[in-house]
Each structure stands twice: as structure tokens, then as C-alpha cells.
Amino acid sequence: MSKTLFDKVWDTHVVRKIEGGPDVLFIDRHLIHEVTSPVAFLGLKSRGIKVLYPERTFATADHNTPTINQHLPVADPLSANQLKALESNSNEYGISHWGLGHQKNGIVHVVGPEYGITQPGATIVCGDSHTSTHGAFGAIAFGIGTSEVEMVLSTQCIMQPKPKKMRINVNGKLGVGVTPKDVALFIISQLTTSGATGYFVEYAGDVFENMTMEGRMTVCNLSIEMGARGGMIAPDETTINYVKGREFSPKGEAWDKALAYYKTLKTDADAVFDKELTFDGSTIEPMITYGTNPGMGMGISHEIPNADQVEGGAATYAKSLGYMGFHEGDSMIGKKVDFVFVGSCTNGRIEDFRAFTSIVKGRHKADGVTVWLVPGSHIVEAQIKEEGLLDILTEAGFTLRQPGCSACLAMNDDKIPAGKYAVSTSNRNFEGRQGPGSRTMLASPLVAAAAAVTGVVTDPRTLIESIKELV
Ligand code: SF4
């Protein structure tokens, strides 16, 4: 029987089928961090249960970590306790722990792929919604809750109903200044934040085939923002070249065996999806959000739609625009920007800093704008320095912070103050996501760079002198 990529990976991992209930799935890799794991470990302790496969479990600290002066004690008592609990639990149960100050420390969804923990055809879970990121490698990867973290620690399995399958095709040539982030925000704007609820999405078409692994990770990361359980892209030469030789990637004969498996990971020609959508990539322009969910996005040259042009109630729409201080019919171009944030598991990889630097090179940070440039890991931080990007950034008036989730969410010191506007390369623009009362405009690193040097929302295409400079 013909199968989709999703079916192939799922079926390979089913340990038991429950009649009329969920499947019991084996989990290859379990990524944990300081926020959703402490309660799970308490549960294990209270029942005297061990971690079944500590070697399949990896711990990194990211959500609560400061992004400056990481050598100093963490000031916030709750954060300090959670970080300490992650370390002591990892040590007690024999789990690799990449805590603050460790050379492998970074955002869980950035370091997993960097060290080859993320592999094609694997099942991967983590107590964070954006675990969907790892689907870029042709893995089934999804976020889980605290009780499920405990279940996976103790059994290396999880009970899951099999989601429906959706394929989203994007073909055509992307325009100048259009990045993977724009493709993802465009898709979400078309589907809305609930358009893929109940589905697992496969992305297909030449736009994704031509993307780097970093770009594919950005797209799969945002799958969750249209309600999908996760997103995935069939592994190809780009994927295999990325995975090969990394620390936790298979080696020798194990690599040959893995490679043979990776090559089976594609949707059969006549496999059927529950839903299929196709978009023309050449129509996508740099995107920006104007409201308080990631589906409220539009091409940067457009005007904010009227309530009757979008789904959802008029009152909810008015509340959202009211929170942002925007109005129907407004242009986003020229809106004041107080903060710019480049980072997170969505856009905290080297390609994102190359893109940002390509715009700010030879220009200067605008007065009155605070810019937080936060690499997703120490590897990204080192690349920024080795490639000479830091010199260009410094010359343009920017500084680089240390790795962490930072202003993706208001759980550490990097909070956007109430009422302030932030152009952010992260993934959520909910009310208060970046700090109580903060107002977030999601966008690509190129749009972020254009805002950082002008102080207002600016179409980055007006600042691009050379297409070759772009990633
Ligand atoms: S950067 Fe944001 S979405 Fe990603 S792992 Fe951290 S908190 Fe979660």
C-alpha cells in the first residue's frame, strides 16, 4: 500500500495499537529543559521509577537563562531553582546535561540538530511546542506536556492518536528579500492559526527543496502556529550532508544502515493525503504581523485588512488591533519600532545572522532602538565571530548577547516593556508573550535588520543593494 512520509515513520515506531484508542509510539530522542522537566522528575521519584533510556535523553538549559553575564549566578530565584533541578536530576539519572556555561549549551531546538541528535526518520519529543522544528529532517517531532515528559522518561514511549495528513506544496521562485520565515508566515496567514488543527503537515515543492536545512527548520518550527501537530520535509542530499559526521550521528556501518533507511523516507507517488494545498511562491513578499496571533500577518507593502476580510469575530479583531494600537487600513511601513529581537529557535541560526548582517553592513543602528541579537547556541555564536559578522555588527553599533531563548518569551530577563513595539524574529505575538503589555510584530531577520537601522517598519527590499549579499 502506498504510504506518505509521515505514515512510514509513524508505522515504524508503533509498539502497540490500542483498539479504538491511541497508538503507543516508541520515541527515539527525548529533549528536556529546565521548565517542563522538574515536575516530571518529581513524579518519577515519588513512584521510585528510573529513566528507562538515559542515553536517548538530552538536557539543555534555555528558557530561563540570562543572555548576558552567564558566568554570574542567576539572580531570579525561580529560574535558579529550575536550572539547578535540571542539573541535579540529569546527574542523578545519568542524562547528558548541557547547562549554563557548558560549551554545548543552547536552545533545545538549535543544539539538537547541531550535534546530530536530530536524525531523519526518528521520533523526537520535548516539552516545548516548537519541537516541530526537527521535522525539517524528515523526523516526526512534536511538543508534549509535563505528564507526557514523565511517561517518556519512564517508558520511552508515548500514547498518541494518529493525526490526519496534510501536504502543503509551494512551488516557484521566491522574490528578492523573501526568506523561509516569510514563506511560513504567508502559509499561516492563509490557513489561520487553526487551519491545520488535527493534521501533521508535509511540506513539498521546489521552494522547500531549494531551502537550506536552517530554512527548513524555520518553516517546520512554525507549523505549530497554524494548529498542526507538527511539520516535516522529506530528507534529501541537503539533509544527509547536514547530518553526516555530527557528534551523535551514526558512524561507520551504522551510517550505511541509517543511510539506506533515510533513502526510503519519501512519500510514495500515489499516496493520499486527507488535505492538500498548493501555493505559488513567487507571489510571497516579506511578511509582517499586525495583530496578536501569528495568523494575523500580511505582505509588508499591504494594508491592515478590515474585520470583514478576515476570519474570526469583529470584536476579537478590534480587541487585537486595539492592543497593538493599529487600525484597519493602516500601512505597517513607517510604524515606530522600539525593540528588535533576532533569535529564538525560529531564527537564531547562523543563516539568520548572515541575513541580518547583509542589511546592516555599512549602515548604523537607529537612535532610540534597542536591539537584542541572541544566537541560538554557542556554535552559532562562534560562527558569527569566525565569519567576521561580529566585526560588521560592531561597526554598525550592535552588540551580541549569549545563547538562550531570550525575548521569545517573558521567562528570563529579556522582556519587552509594556506598550513598546518589537519587531521580533521569534514565533509568537500573543498579548504579553514578550513581556506584560509588549507589542510584537513577527518578521524575518531581513525585516528586523531594516527596522534596526531605520527605527521604523521598513521594507527590506528598499535596502538591498545586491541580491548576491542575501542568503
Ligand atoms: S526559543 Fe521560544 S519557542 Fe523556542 S524553545 Fe525557547 S521558548 Fe520555546
pLDDT > 60? residue 394: yes
Same domain assignment for residues 199 and 312:
no
Whether residue 200 sits in one domain with residue 73: no
Instruction: Verify that 252 and 398 share a domain, yes or no.
Output: no
The answer to whether 28 and 10 are in contact (CB under 8 A) is: no
Instruction: Tell me the CATH number at 32.
Output: 3.30.499.10
Percent residues over pLDDT 90 in the chain: 97
Three-state secondary-structure class, residue 160: strand
The pLDDT score that the predictor gives to residue 385 is: 98
For residues 442 and 332, membership in a common domain is answered with yes
CA distance 13 to 49: 23
Tell me the CA–centroid distance for residue 63 and ligand 1, in Å. 7
The alpha carbon of 414 and the centre of ligand 1 are apart by a number of angstroms equal to 13
Mean pLDDT of 179-195: 97
Beta bridge partners of 171: 280
Dihedral sign of CA atoms 210, 354, 121, 25 in order: negative
As a whole number of angstroms, the distance between CA 70 and CA 52 comes to 32
pLDDT value, residue 1: 86
Written as one letter, the residue type at 395 is: E
Instruction: Give the pairing of strands 23-26 and 14-17.
Output: antiparallel
User: Do 254 and 363 fall into the same domain?
Assistant: no
What DSSP string describes 318-340?
HHHHHHHT--TT-BSTT-B-SEE
**Smallest CA separation from ligand 1 atom 2, residue:** 408
Which of these three, 206, 225, 260, is where a domain ends? 260
- Residue 311 pLDDT exceeds 90: no
Per-residue pLDDT reduced to its tens digit, 343-380: 999 999 999 999 999 999 999 999 999 999 999 999 99
Residue of 344, 406, 416, 442 with the most ligand 1 atoms within 8 Å of its CB, for mutation: 344
**Whole-number CA gyration radius for the chain:** 21
- Residue 469's pLDDT is 45
Question: Cα separation of 81 and 22, whole Å?
Answer: 36
DSSP state of 161: P
Tally of CA atoms within 13 A in the half-sphere of 270 that contains its CB: 2
Distance from the CA of 319 to the center of ligand 1, in angstroms? 26
Q: Are residues 198 and 294 in the same domain?
A: no
Q: Are residues 312 and 276 both part of a single domain? A: no
Q: What is the mean pLDDT of residues 139-147?
A: 97
In angstroms, rounded to a whole number, what is the distance separating the alpha carbons of residues 209 and 170? 10
pTM of this prediction exceeds 0.95: yes
At residue 395, does pLDDT exceed 90?
Answer: yes
Whether 174 and 33 map to the same domain: the answer is no
| Residue 467: predicted pLDDT | 46
- Exposed e or buried b per residue across 352-384, where buried means at least 16 C-beta atoms within 10 angstroms of its C-beta: bbbbbbbbbbebebbeebebbbbbbbbbbbebb
Q: Burial code of 447-463, b = ≥16 C-beta within 10 A, e = fewer?
A: bbbbbbbbbbbbbbbeb
Grid-cell match 545519568, residue found: 94
Q: CA 118 to CA 452: how far, in whole Å?
A: 33
pLDDT band (50, 70, 90) for residue 466:
low
What pLDDT sits at residue 174? 98
For 232-287, the pLDDT digits (tens) are: 999 999 999 999 999 999 999 999 999 999 999 999 999 999 999 999 999 999 99
Say whether both 381 and 298 belong to one domain: yes
Q: How far is the CA of 3 from the centre of ligand 1 (A)?
A: 32
Render pLDDT for 14-39 as a digit per residue (tens, 0 to 9).
999 999 999 999 999 999 999 999 99
Q: Are residues 402 and 293 in the same domain?
A: yes
User: Looking at residue 220, which CATH number applies to its domain?
Assistant: 3.40.1060.10
From the number of C-beta atoms within 10 Å of its C-beta (0-12, 13-18, 19+), residue 17 rates as exposed
Please state, rounded to an integer, the average pLDDT across all residues of the chain: 97
One DSSP character per residue, 62-97 reads: -TT--SS-TTSPP-SHHHHHHHHHHHHHHHHHT-EE
168-183 confidence digits (pLDDT tens): 999 999 999 999 999 9
Around Cβ 439, how many Cβ atoms within 10 Å? 23
3-state secondary structure 365-387: CCCCCEEEECCCEHHHHHHHHHC
Residue 465 has pLDDT above 90, yes or no: no
| Residues 222, 347 share a domain | no
pLDDT in tens, 63-82: 999 999 999 999 999 999 99
Burial of 47 (0-12, 13-18, 19+ CB in 10 A): exposed
How many domains does the chain contain in total? 3
Q: Can you give the pLDDT at residue 471?
A: 43
Kindly state whether residues 106 and 250 are assigned to the same domain.
yes
Q: Does residue 405 have its Cβ closer than 6 Å to ligand 1?
A: yes
Residue-level pLDDT at 468: 47
Q: Which set of grid coordinates corresponds to residue 316?
A: 476579537
Query: Looking at 249, 283, 317, which one is the last position of a domain?
Result: 283
Query: With the C-alpha atoms ordered 279, 285, 290, 294, is the resulting torsion angle positive or negative?
Result: positive
> Is the pLDDT assigned to residue 427 strictly greater than 80?
yes
- Contact between 15 and 24 under an 8 Å Cβ cutoff? The reply is yes
Distance, CA of 276 to CA of 202 (rounded, Å) = 10
Domain with 157 in it = 5-161+237-260
Q: If you take atom 6 of ligand 1, which residue's CA is the nearest one?
A: 405
Task: Give me the mean pLDDT over the 393-422 stretch.
Answer: 97
DSSP 400: B
In 3D, which of 85, 107, 139 has the Cα closest to residue 31?
A: 107
Give the strand pairing for 23-26 and 157-160: antiparallel
Ligand 1 pocket member 130 (CB < 6 A): yes
Q: How far apart are CA 183 and CA 34, in angstroms?
A: 31
Total length of the chain: 471
- Confidence category of residue 441, pLDDT binned at 50, 70, 90: very high
Tell me the CA–centroid distance for residue 29 and ligand 1, in Å. Answer: 18
- Verify whether ligand 1 is closer than 6 Å to residue 63 (CB atom): yes
